[in-house]
Amino acid sequence: MLDKIIKDIKDAKTLTHENITALLDSPDETLWAQVFERADDIRKKNFGDAVHLRGLLEFSNYCKRNCLYCGLRKDNKTQYRYRMPPDEIVENAVQIASFGIKTIVLQSGEDPYYTTDIICNILRDIKKNADTAITLSIGEKTRDEYKAFFDAGADRYLIRHETASPSLYASLHPDSTLKERLNCIDDLFSIGFQVGIGCMVGLPGQTHSDMAADILLLQEKQPDMIGMGPFICNQDTPLQGALSGTIEQTLKMTALARIVCPRSHLPATTATGSIDRFGREKALAVGANVVMPNFTPLNYRMHYTIYPNKRCITEDGYKCNTCIRKMIENEGRTVATGYGHSLRFESSTGQTS
């Protein structure tokens, strides 16, 4: 059966839940080497060797929600909280763009302080003053709010589905459901955003069947971007003491994501680089084509602790940018110079490069 699955992968056939589960059940390294090679080939065919940089700005660590795995959860009273004033967000975004970064990712917990008007003003001010695409990653909102962000200039929206298993999702998210999450994702697509979804790998209680459901959801939605990283246990959350996801699992899921979504932008995530010193390099070798240097000012960055021991917590944005560019070159890859829009929009806008 496994040989047949590898043949299906090579023939670019649609994968089934049963096939993906069987693959994930297999510890056969020779088989996985073939999967990794195929994922890398697909990356090369669709994106070449260029790696896109997305400059990350984590502007608030307040959150009204209580996701069990997250250090920013509302009930984590040990967490020091910060909010960047709108002017400072715009100032930082303009500076990030001056480093040649063509996408800025504005990320925060679900913080009601930033009303729709405040976010829209920030978006308009950045677009007025910097030549950059903007990705928002600020959680679940109404369709009208998403539409307002889109009209104000947001190009992309990142909202991981976290896990495609309804029961696992429910056990980790006391204040939301998978259905609500998926509705948000559908709203974002219908508005015209470039949409990013994705999951955590190695969650407590997550089975290979659950992980196969994640890959199937990616296959079905064909998102413009994918966020795939390991679960990393945070001792200041109800999941304290749980085992974290492993680099092996994460690389397997990254490769499978690339195989089922040949044309999605797929980052070598910071979380992957946080569980393994060469995690990002390894992810770049199995299908990833994006890296996200962190430009959050140092006085805030150490407090954005969804998980502990995060990579690049002490380098300023300039150093992080330089270090990541060097890492990409060391891997024999190049740094892309364009906006890195979705390939879906490439032919109509000509903006991707």
Using a 10 angstrom Cβ sphere, with 0-12 exposed, 13-18 middle and 19 or more buried, the burial of residue 52 is: buried
CB of 160 to ligand SF4, least distance (A): 9
183 Cβ partners below 8 Å, 6+ apart? Answer: none
Q: Which span (32-40, 60-68, 256-264, 320-328) binds ligand SF4, by CB under 6 A?
A: 60-68
Please, which residue, 21 or 269, has the CB nearer to ligand SF4? Answer: 269
Identity of the residue, 236 or 316, whose beta carbon is nearer to ligand SF4 in the bound complex: 236
Residue 125 CA to residue 25 CA, distance in Å, equals 50
Least distance in angstroms from the C-beta of 239 to ligand SF4 = 12
For position 271 contacting ligand SF4 by CB under 6 A, the verdict is: no
Write the single-letter amino acid at 107.
Answer: Q
Name which position in 109, 262, 273, 317 contacts ligand SF4 (CB under 6 A): 109
- Nearer Cβ to ligand SF4 (47/69): 69
Q: Which of 9, 70, 96, 101 touches ligand SF4 (CB under 6 A)?
A: 70
Contact between 201 and ligand SF4 per CB under 6 A: no
> Quick one: which segment of 39-47, 70-78, 117-125, 197-205 binds ligand SF4 (CB under 6 A)?
70-78
Q: For residue 110, state whether it binds ligand SF4 (rule: CB under 6 A).
A: yes
Report yes or no: 165 and 201 within 8 Å, Cβ to Cβ.
no
What is the spatial distance between Cα 271 and Cα 250, in angstroms, rounded to a whole number?
Answer: 10
| 341 binds ligand SF4 per the rule CB under 6 A | no
Which tokens go with 182? 């998926």
Among 2, 16, 31, 65, binds ligand SF4 (CB under 6 A): 65
- Tokens at residue 165, please? 């298993």
Euclidean distance between CA atoms 336 and 343, whole angstroms: 14
C-beta of 65: minimal distance to ligand SF4 in Å?
4
Residue span binding ligand SF4 (CB under 6 A) among the ranges 48-56, 68-76, 113-121, 345-353: 68-76
Cα dist from 102 to 93, 123, 198, 236, whole Å? 10, 15, 22, 35
Burial of 10 (0-12, 13-18, 19+ CB in 10 A): middle
Q: Is 227 helix (H, G, I), strand (E, B) or coil?
A: strand
Q: Which is nearer to ligand SF4, 73 or 280 (CB)?
A: 73
Which residue number, 275 or 306, has a Cβ lying nearer to ligand SF4? 306
| φ, ψ (nearest 5 deg) of residue 159 | -145, 95
With the CA atoms of 34, 37, 39 and 43 taken in that order, what torsion angle do they form, in degrees rounded to the nearest 10? -160
# of chain residues touching ligand SF4 (CB under 6 A): 10
CB closer to ligand SF4, 36 vs 231: 231
Query: Which CB atom, from 180 or from 329, has the smaller least distance to ligand SF4?
Result: 180
Binding site for ligand SF4 (CB under 6 A): 63, 65, 67, 70, 72-73, 109-110, 139, 306
